[in-house]
Amino acid sequence: MVLFAGMTLVAAQDFPSDFLGSDFHKDRRDILRTKMPGNSVAVFFANPVRNRANDTDYLYHQDPNFYYLTGYREPHAILLMFKDNQTDDNGDSFNEIAFVQPRKTEDPTDRDSETWTGRRLGPTGFEEQLGIRPSFDNYLFEEYSIDFSKFDKVLFYDFMNDVRDTENEGDLYDLISWFKKKAGYPSGNAMEVEPIAGNLDTQTLDYFMGEMRGVKTKEELALLRKAIDISCIAQVEVMKAIKPGMSEREIQGIHEFIYRKYQAEEEGYNSIVGAGHNGCILHYIDNYKPVVEGKEMILMDLGAEYHGYTADVTRTIPIDGKFSKEEKAIYDLVYQAQEAAIKACMPGIDYRIDLDAQIARRIVNEGLADLKIIKRPDSPNSYYPHGLSHQLGLDVHDLGGSKLRPGMVITIEPGIYIPDNSPCDKKWWGIAVRIEDDLLVTENGCELLSDIAPRKSEEIEALMAKPSPFDNIVLPELESSQN
């Protein structure tokens, strides 16, 4: 008993205490159940494990819907949620059931067990810690007797056919195969089966999940605020630390070191750190430039992910701390477009129409015409080739529509990109600016969540003149690179 209490204590200390609680996930399931049509079942699968090469996998990331509904962070699991109570063989009623990774097995050849890949909840932990009952070892799903044809609707996301089979009975590949067989899923390439047969519905669940995930609860907002604060502190520290001669990779590393310092587990998407004309590549993730030059800007689009929730913040700064005349003209134009869109952001509007088309894009095009980069504001051009906004949450491009409601979190991210050889004076070539901020839609406007990181060109220049703790970090030269 004493030993057990001690072990529990060690386990608690091994783990952050601010994850979403099981009540949050239960509430989400209850709300989804109210949306589900009569006599229906919703089926969710954990994300696949992604192989990097040979016997090395990428860090596991749970499917956001599965995480939202359960809090489970392990692979090889299936969750079934029923609209109406079901009765088991003992006459007990239940409205959800899960099949999850088994705990450590006695099989000495089992190289995927807890000894090799970490602690697992198992069905008992799943029931006790996440509150989803009944739960079983995943390999038992094969024998689980369920007649899917008795439901008016079987709701699930269609399959991407990108799951590897492993030697473990009950892995995700098996769970999907068994589900397809039990549910009468048509054979052949799923994405080509249109419309899908009988009571199988692969469309509606995404709509329900979007309605829910689009509006954040206070528990989700606490995590999102943390992810955004961490990302902004990293932008601020990089503004002070950056110097000509650094590499794109080193600058990426300072951001990501700060993320880890504040316990963010991951980046919500691959970090984009592009100096000079590399900034014109919208999702430039190579970050290979070995030496960034004083006479160029660097576009840094990064987001810390904290307990599943990701920020998405971009700052574009002059590497030597001072914007050139042309850089400042473009920068201030993007800022002006962003500021106008932020001021107009409120519930009831549509960000695609009201913020992007009617405000930001109009300001950018008028400004480009004033600077004689294009002939007239309505001249066709591709200097702002992406949308202004998207939802933010468990996914960087999160679920939920473009019509704003209180509780939504969105980005506002205008940009201007002038690649080399563009049809304008070459003094503009290679200039790329994106300013991206994260906003919470409130009852009568919006709250700028990413205001820790300055956006105005003068404020950025003032901050960049300040010393940085990274100034004092001197590491030895690599002897191996001198040969």
Closest CB to ligand GLY among residues 178, 383: 383
Residue 269 contacts which entry, Mn ion, ligand GLY, none (Cβ below 5-8 A, type-dependent) = ligand GLY
For position 269 contacting ligand GLY by CB under 6 A, the verdict is: yes
- Our CB check for ligand GLY shows the closer of 340 and 392 to be 392
Residues 254, 240 contacting (CB under 8 angstroms): no
* Shortest Å, Cβ 386 to Mn ion: 9
Between 80 and 119, how does the x/- string for binding to ligand GLY read (CB under 6 A)? ----------------------------------------
Q: Could you please report the per-residue DSSP string of 243-259? A: -TT--HHHHHHHHHHHH
Note whether 398 binds ligand GLY by CB under 6 A. no
CB contact at 8 A, 55 and 152: no
Residues 154 and 163: their CA atoms lie apart, in Å, by 21
Nearer to ligand GLY, 206 or 395 (CB): 395
**312 touches ligand GLY by CB under 6 A:** yes
Beta-bridge mates of residue 264: none
By beta-carbon proximity to ligand GLY, the closer residue of 8 and 270 is: 270
DSSP of 5-73: HHHHHHHHHTS-S-SPPHHHHHHHHHHHHHHSPTTEEEEEEPPPPPEEETTEEPPP---HHHHHHH---
Min dist. Cβ of residue 312 to ligand GLY (A): 5
**Alpha-carbon distance 17 to 216, whole Å?**
20
User: What burial class does residue 227 get, using C-beta atoms within 10 Å of its C-beta: 0-12 exposed, 13-18 middle, 19+ buried?
Assistant: buried
Binding mask 418-447 for ligand GLY (x = CB under 6 A): ------------------x-----------
Which of Mn ion, ligand GLY, none has residue 201 at its interface (CB below 5 to 8 Å by kind)?
Answer: none
We find the least distance from the C-beta atom of residue 295 to ligand GLY, in angstroms, to be 26
Q: Tell whether residue 413 is a contact of ligand GLY (CB under 6 A).
A: yes
| Residue 395 is a binding residue for ligand GLY (CB under 6 A) | no
Long-range contact pairs involving 163-168 (C-beta distance under 8 Å, separation at least 24): 163/48, 164/48, 164/49, 164/51, 166/112, 168/76, 168/110, 168/112, 168/139
Give the type of residue at 256.
E
Beta carbons of 184 and 197 less than 8 angstroms apart: yes
Q: Is residue 156 within 8 Å of residue 44, measured between CB atoms?
A: yes
**Binding flag, residue 339, ligand GLY (CB under 6 A):** no
Q: Pick the binder of ligand GLY from 63, 296, 301, 354 (CB under 6 A).
A: 301
Smallest separation, CB 284 to ligand GLY (Å): 11
248 binds, among Mn ion, ligand GLY, none (CB under 5 to 8 A by kind): none
463 touches, from ligand GLY, Mn ion, none (C-beta below 5 to 8 Å by class):
none
Give the CB-nearest residue to ligand GLY. Answer: 301
Using CB under 6 A as the binding criterion, the count of chain residues that bind ligand GLY stands at 7
Task: Mention every residue, 6+ apart, whose C-beta is less than 8 A from residue 316.
Answer: 279, 297, 298, 299, 300, 331, 334, 432, 433, 434, 435
Contact indicator for 242, 465 with CB cutoff of 8 Å: no
- Closer residue to Mn ion, CB minimum distance, 300 or 418: 300
Give CA–CA dist 193/334, Å, rounded.
Answer: 45
Handedness of CA 382, 384, 388, 392 (dihedral sign): positive
Residue 74 site contact among ligand GLY, Mn ion, none (CB < 5 to 8 Å, cut-off depends on kind): none
Select 29 or 255, whichever has its Cβ closest to Mn ion.
255
Nearest to 131 by CA among 97, 160, 157: 97
CB of 396 to ligand GLY, least distance (A): 6
What whole-number distance in Å separates Cα of residue 354 and Cα of residue 345? 9
Nearest distance, CB of residue 211 and ligand GLY, angstroms: 22
Which of ligand GLY, Mn ion, none lies near 457, with the C-beta cut-off 5 to 8 A by kind?
Answer: none
Which positions touch Mn ion (CB under 5 A)?
301, 312, 411, 436
- Our finding on whether 24 is near ligand GLY (CB under 6 A) is no
* Nearest distance, CB of residue 415 and ligand GLY, angstroms: 9
Taking the complex as a whole, the smallest distance from the CB of residue 410 to ligand GLY amounts, in Å, to: 11
We find the least distance from the C-beta atom of residue 284 to Mn ion, in angstroms, to be: 11
For residue 2, the minimal CB distance to Mn ion (Å) is: 51
Residue 113 to residue 104: CA distance in whole angstroms? 5
What binding mask, one character per residue, do residues 348-367 give for ligand GLY by CB under 6 A, x or -? --------------------
**H or E element in which residue 213 lies:** helix 204-213
CA distances to 28, 201, 253, 309 from 396, rounded to whole Å, are 20, 26, 20, 8
Report the interface residues with ligand GLY, using CB under 6 A. 269, 301, 312, 390, 396, 413, 436
